Amino acid sequence: MRGVFVTGTDTGVGKTLFSAALLLRLGAAGVQAAACKPVSAGCRRAGGRLVNADAELLAAVAPAARSLEIVNPVAFEPAIAPHIAAAEAGARLAAADLVAACRAAAAGAEYLVVEGAGGWRVPLGDSGSLADVAVGLQLPVVLVVGLRLGCLNHALLSAEAIRADGLHLAGWVANPLAAAMPRLEENIATLAHRLGAPLARLPACDAATEGGRARQAAAALPADLLARLPGVNHAWRGTQ
Q: What is the pLDDT of residues 40-98, one digit of tens each?
A: 999 999 988 999 999 999 999 999 999 999 999 999 999 999 999 999 999 999 999 99
Active-site hit among 37, 66, 83, 213: 37
Identify whether 15 is a catalytic site residue.
Answer: no
Fill in the DSSP letter of residue 60.
H
Q: Range of 189's domain?
A: 3-237
In three-state form (DSSP H/G/I as H, E/B as E, the rest C), the secondary structure along 114-174 is: EEEEEECCCECCCCCEHHHHHHHHCCCEEEEEEECCCHHHHHHHHHHHHHHCCCCEEEEEE
Q: What is the pLDDT of residues 6-53, one digit of tens each?
A: 999 999 999 999 999 999 999 988 899 999 999 999 999 998 899 999
Number of structural domains the chain divides into: 1
Say what the pLDDT of residue 235 is.
41
Say what the pLDDT of residue 64 is.
97
CA 208 vs CA 22, 60, 114: distances in Å? 20, 16, 25
> Can you tell me the distance from the alpha carbon of 93 to that of 138, in angstroms, rounded to the nearest whole number?
19
Say what the pLDDT of residue 1 is.
85
Which one is predicted more confidently, 125 or 168? 168
> Can you tell me the distance from the alpha carbon of 50 to that of 70, in angstroms, rounded to the nearest whole number?
13
pLDDT band at 195 (very low <50, low <70, confident <90, very high): very high
Compute the average pLDDT of residues 113-135.
94
- In the predicted model, what is the mean pLDDT of the chain? 91
Cα angle, residue 215 at apex, residues 212 and 218 outer, rounded to 5°: 155
Say what the pLDDT of residue 98 is.
97
Say what the pLDDT of residue 237 is.
39
140 pLDDT more than 60: yes
CATH of the domain at 199: 3.40.50.300
224 pLDDT more than 80: no
> Can you tell me the distance from the alpha carbon of 1 to that of 37, in angstroms, rounded to the nearest whole number?
16
Compute the average pLDDT of residues 100-122.
96
